[in-house]
Amino acid sequence: MGFGGAPARVHSGFWEAYLRYVRAPLFRLLEGDPPSVAKLCVGGHSMGASAAQLCAVDLATQPGGRDVYLHALASTRVGDPAFARLVRETPGLRAFDVKNTEDPVPPDFSSPDLGAMLFYETSGEAISITAPAPTLELCHLTPSYHAGLAARAARLGGGGGKN
């Protein structure tokens, strides 16, 4: 896979889903943007966060690329070390990878059962939150992530209210 000519390997299922469901409609939508729209925020949760990672890198590596901010909640690792490096080093791309320490869904890549996925890396600046919920399943849902991020912002002096 090449993003702006940079070699990187990504999970074929996530790439195919991004191409099939996201890329063409998004690029058609962006064709109508006035030149003053230079910044984009891309986000997603769980599988949507995996697609959002691919989308953010794709947008940021286009000729005349825009500034892109990525907010990935509960994402799996999508690509190899070259992809993770591309996320870190692409000018204009700022990526945040948010994980809830209580969330059982994003896989633990230390498991030998995951085989080839072991070389994949987390992309973006890691943000760890702790947002417990009454059940493990609820720890994976976006309200838990929003509550964890709000609590983190309040602790860091950034408020936590809705803007």
Spatial distance between the Cα atoms of 36 and 110, rounded to a whole number of angstroms:
45
> Is 160 within the bounds of a domain?
no
What is the predicted pLDDT for the residue at 8? 87
> Is 115 within the bounds of a domain?
yes
> Is 20 within the bounds of a domain?
yes
> Is 52 within the bounds of a domain?
yes
What is the predicted pLDDT for the residue at 35? 63
> Is 31 within the bounds of a domain?
no
Structural domain boundaries enclosing 138:
2-25+38-155
> Is 85 within the bounds of a domain?
yes
Overall size of the chain counted in residues? 163
- How many domains are there within the chain? 1
What is the predicted pLDDT for the residue at 147? 93
pTM of the model: 0.83
Q: What is the CATH number of the domain that holds 65?
A: 3.40.50.1820
- Cβ-proximal residues to 109 (8 Å cutoff; 6+ apart), any chain: 77, 117, 118, 120
> Is 163 within the bounds of a domain?
no
pLDDT along the chain (163 residues), means of 10: 75 91 90 76 92 93 86 90 91 93 72 55 86 89 92 80 47
